[in-house]
Amino acid sequence: MSMAHVKKGFWHRFFFSLDHKDIGLQYLITTMFIAFFAGIFAMVFRIHLAYPDVSIPLFGTIGPKEYNILVTNHGLIMVLWLSMGVLLASAGNFLIPVMLGTDDMAFPKLNKLSYWFFLSSVLVLIASFFMPQKGFGGGWTLYPPLSVGDFGYNTAYKSFAGRFFSSNTFVLLAVALEFVSLLMGGINFMVTLFNKRAKGMGLLQVPMVVWMIVIASVLFMFSVGPLVAGTFMLLLDINAGTGFYDASRGGDPLLWEHLFWFFGHPEVYVILLPGLGILAEVITTNARKTLFGYNLILVLVLIAMVLSLMVWAHHQFVAGIDPRAATVFSILTIIISLPFAGVILSFLATLWKSNLRLTLPMKWALAAIVLFTILGGFTGLHLGAALFDVYAHDTSFVVAHFHYTLIPVVLFSGMAGFYHWFNKFSGRELNRFLGNLHFWLTFIFFNGFGIPLFLLGLAGQPRRYAGYDHIPYLSEGHLPLLREIATISAIILVLSQFIFVFNFIWSAFKGKKISSTNPWESTTLEWQTDSPPPHGNFEVYPVVYHGPYEYNRPDTEKDYLPQNQKL
Amino acid sequence: MKIFPENVSDYGHQIDSLFWIITSVAGLASLIVLFLVFYPVLTRNKQRSKDEIYVKGRGFKQLKWIYLAIFIMAVADFSFLIIESDGWIKIEESLPQEEFHVAVVGKQWLWEVIYPGLDGKLYTADDIKKFNTLIVPKDAVVHIDLSAYDVLHSLFIPHARFKNDCLPGRKITRWVKFTQAGTYPMVCAEMCGIGHSRMIGKVVVLPQAKFQNELAKMYKK
């Protein structure tokens, strides 16, 4: 990331470059920019929940309308823009070509176009805050009829122009643009994997993270179609007066829930898989062991991919679907825990009897596994059992559950990857003290936020409420204290991410130059070239002789054998 | 510190105990996961030969522990499903003989409760409409017809472990049987706009005699 290495102007580098590393950086900066707002939103509405009367600088006192807008956009941005933007688009762009030992993506211009679409989706999303509604407040799941209407507060909504220039329309357009962008990106990842591998690299010698990103992209392609159709119908309902989701005119609001979650649940795995891929890289490198059960992991993930297309209605156990259908989805949902249990166990087997190095990326990775498995995965069993979901659905228990799946995957695995690869793509070292501080603050205060939410959910606290103090059963005993702990922790959690932002920017320009191009002594191809890799990635294109994780091979002297080194 | 609100319906304990069953099995599994993470971390400086470390995880012999763990987890999963199915069939799939029938309709942002009039039937001209207060008899199977006028709502009675969405254009009938008299909250659990958090009603559970009195009072008005 240091400018000195690359003789390219600012505009070229940040807007027109076709180099996959530049595009990866553009994705990273764009998603961090928009996630900054989503984090601030979370802070603001958490403050409102614990201290309803406090006036917050720049936001004022939060009313229910502002509260809904903040909650909705926090969810939308974190799930659709941050998670996919970082783990699919940015990580995919940085890693795939250089890990496959090639110069760039298969279609660099399509890659560029996909970023331009991504950027425009972000701009349209930002524009939605400047429409008369001042932002979309119908929940990130966009359930009609609420998302069709004006939430009961805006008269400008009546005319055609009023309906088009509304937050609802703009949010839907932003979602559509982002999907176009990710589809183009996914096609690129796929073609690059299958056509541009280094000489000698078999399909089962590809680093796991590349497989995971490509499988995630394929899953995204399989699942996104119905939602695009659904979004189009929702746009027509808002702008052209159709009634696809309007029960009084023969439509059905439940239709949207099916179309949305047919995409929405695989989406969880679209985010999870790249996260698991990053964990595989960080764990093998630091455990100094080959990945345990490479083939098994691939098979399990492919099984999970197919299953994930058949579990969507577990979001709708009590939404009015036939209870007998819910039974089927409950069984499938519980079954899908098995392949992921296998993947996690393979990682744990990789750690077993290893002389592991407890580096900073490794700390993030281990924390990701522990939090994801114990508090994210196992609470998924609770919710997957339809009977318990009757009680827990739409309570804070669900909120805690999906934060414990998404934050370990996106934040912890993402950070593991960031601290692992930063030196490769910048040529500089990160400040280790700030890195450790960031890790421990994030770890402690994420739990300080999440565990109270589980307890609040079990106490029957419904989610998305702009305050609970007026409800007697939720304002007695220890519950207000739990909300306060969650709020304070969430604030510190968000603020500690600024340590990372500072560390990132400061180290990118002023960090210590690294002395080795392979500081972790890793085997995959990205470590066998300069840091940062030059335009075209390699001076001499590598030829691959081994699988990706040849650590501590008995017939070698050193404890690692790079993929491109002959025995 | 109590985890769940007090249970006042005749099926609530099944939901609570399902939670504790899954939690204890998952808790045990969590201990194993913690051990598998922390033991390698604590023994990371032990001398190990390369032959010991270089394990690829191929073939049944090496993978048997993973297969076994997946199998054990599958057994646990299916026992959850079997335990759950009993309650699910009773609570959601079947409707016991009704002893009182009432309709709750969600509306931005209040609950409209429709009681049958003197004819004892719902959806006739003499129905009585009340807002935000659901009065039901104790120890009787109450059928609740759920629907909505405008957007999605969800009727949630935490103390009874009762929840179901209310959709415009659909009438969904669910049942509940309260075992304890008293006043309990009923809230909206599905985002329904700016008044979502104010959509709070109450369920008043009365012993049979008192309930009949209350009903008679409503008819007089």
A156-to-A78, A128, A166, B108 alpha-carbon distances in Å: 29, 15, 9, 20
pLDDT at A153: 54
Of A64, A348, A553, the CB nearest to B54: A553
- What is the average pLDDT across A207-223? 96
Q: Do B84 and A472 touch (CB under 8 A)?
A: no
pLDDT at A7: 56
Q: Which of A357, A382, A387, A451 to mutate to test the interface with B (most CBs of B within 10 A)?
A: A387
- Rounded to a whole number, what is the largest CA-CA distance in chain A? 76
Q: Read off the pLDDT band of B4 (50, 70, 90).
A: very high
- What is the average pLDDT across A131-154? 82
Q: Do A386 and B84 touch (CB under 8 A)?
A: yes
- For residues A537 and A103, give the distance between their C-alpha atoms in angstroms, rounded to a whole number: 5
Residue in this structure with the two tokens 């130059």, named with its chain if needed: A513
Query: Chain A residue closest to B11 (CA)?
Result: A387
SS3 category, A60: strand
Q: Do B196 and A467 touch (CB under 8 A)?
A: no
A448-to-A493, A498, B43, B177 alpha-carbon distances in Å: 9, 18, 29, 37
Q: Which residues contact B116 (CB under 8 A, 6 or more apart)?
A: B101, B102, B122, B124, B127, B128
Q: Which residues contact A376 (CB under 8 A, 6 or more apart)?
A: A401, A402, A404, A405, A408, A409
The yes-or-no verdict on residue A151 having pLDDT over 70 is no
CB A386, CB A446: distance < 8 Å: no
Q: Read off the pLDDT band of A157 (50, 70, 90).
A: low
The yes-or-no verdict on residue A1 having pLDDT over 50 is no
pLDDT at A316: 92
pLDDT digits (tens, 9 = 90+) for A424-451: 999 999 999 999 999 999 999 999 999 9
- The alpha carbon dihedral of B78, A307, A273, A69 has a sign of negative
Query: Chain A residue closest to B158 (CA)?
Result: A460
- Rounded to a whole number, what is the largest CA-CA distance in chain B? 90
Q: Do A378 and B30 touch (CB under 8 A)?
A: yes
- For residues A82 and A33, give the distance between their C-alpha atoms in angstroms, rounded to a whole number: 9
What's the complex ipTM? 0.95
Of A146, A320, A323, the CB nearest to B170: A320
The yes-or-no verdict on residue A156 having pLDDT over 70 is no
Cis-peptide into A261, omega within 30 deg: no
Strand B141-148 vs strand B110-115: parallel, antiparallel, or unpaired? unpaired
Q: Read off the pLDDT band of A54 (50, 70, 90).
A: confident
Q: Do A292 and B165 touch (CB under 8 A)?
A: no
Q: Do B69 and A341 touch (CB under 8 A)?
A: yes
Q: Which of B16, B23, B165, B176 to mutate to test the interface with A (most CBs of A within 10 A)?
A: B165
Query: Chain B residue closest to A558 (CA)?
Result: B50
Contacts B46 to A, Cβ<8 Å? 355
pLDDT digits (tens, 9 = 90+) for A239-288: 888 889 998 888 999 999 999 999 999 999 999 999 999 999 999 999 99
pTM: 0.94
H or E element at residue A350: helix A337-351
Conformational region of residue A175, where left means phi above 0, alpha means psi within -120 to 50, and beta covers everything else: alpha
In a 13 Å sphere around the CA of B19, the CA atoms on its Cβ side amount to 18
CB B177, CB B11: distance < 8 Å: yes
- In order of their start, the domains of chain B are 12-93 (no CATH), 100-220 (2.60.40.420)
Q: Which of B84, B150, B176 to mutate to test the interface with A (most CBs of A within 10 A)?
A: B84
Of A288, A296, A352, the CB nearest to B63: A296
Mean pLDDT in chain A?
Answer: 92
Q: Do B54 and A455 touch (CB under 8 A)?
A: no
Query: Chain A residue closest to B88 (CA)?
Result: A387
CB A285, CB A351: distance < 8 Å: no
Contacts B88 to A, Cβ<8 Å? 323, 326-327, 330, 386-387
The yes-or-no verdict on residue A420 having pLDDT over 50 is yes
- What is the average pLDDT across A393-422? 96
Of A253, A334, A464, the CB nearest to B196: A464
Contacts A395 to B, Cβ<8 Å? 189
CA–CA min distance B95, chain A (Å): 12
pLDDT digits (tens, 9 = 90+) for A67-77: 999 999 999 99
The yes-or-no verdict on residue B59 having pLDDT over 80 is yes
Please name the amino acid found at residue B212.
Q
User: What backbone phi and psi angles, to 5 degrees, belong to B147?
Assistant: -160, -175
Of B5, B15, B69, the CB nearest to A345: B69
- For residues B32 and A183, give the distance between their C-alpha atoms in angstroms, rounded to a whole number: 40
pLDDT digits (tens, 9 = 90+) for A306-338: 999 999 999 999 998 999 999 999 999 989 999
- For residues A75 and A106, give the distance between their C-alpha atoms in angstroms, rounded to a whole number: 33
Q: Do A391 and B158 touch (CB under 8 A)?
A: yes
Of A64, A323, A552, the CB nearest to B93: A323
User: Which two tokens mark A37?
Assistant: 């707002």
- In order of their start, the domains of chain A are 3-528 (1.20.210.10)
- For residues A60 and B28, give the distance between their C-alpha atoms in angstroms, rounded to a whole number: 47
Closest CA to A347 of A442, A421, A281, A423: A281
Bridge partners, B130 (sequence order): B113
- For residues A215 and A209, give the distance between their C-alpha atoms in angstroms, rounded to a whole number: 10
Of B39, B185, B196, the CB nearest to A473: B185
The yes-or-no verdict on residue A2 having pLDDT over 70 is no
- For residues A386 and A383, give the distance between their C-alpha atoms in angstroms, rounded to a whole number: 7
DSSP type of residue A189: H
H or E element at residue A337: helix A337-351
Q: Do B1 and A391 touch (CB under 8 A)?
A: no
User: Which two tokens mark A167?
Assistant: 């937050």
Q: Do A391 and B22 touch (CB under 8 A)?
A: no
DSSP string, chain B: --SSPPP-BSSHHHHHHHHHHHHHHHHHHHHHHHHHHHHHHHTTTS---HHHH-----HHHHHHHHHHHHHHHHHHHHHHHHHHHHHHIIIII--PPPSEEEEEEEETTEEEEEE--TTS-SSSTT-EEEESEEEEETTSEEEEEEEESSS-EEEEEGGGTEEEEE-BT--EEEEEEB-S-EEEEEEE-S--STTGGG--EEEEEE-HHHHHHHHHHHHH-
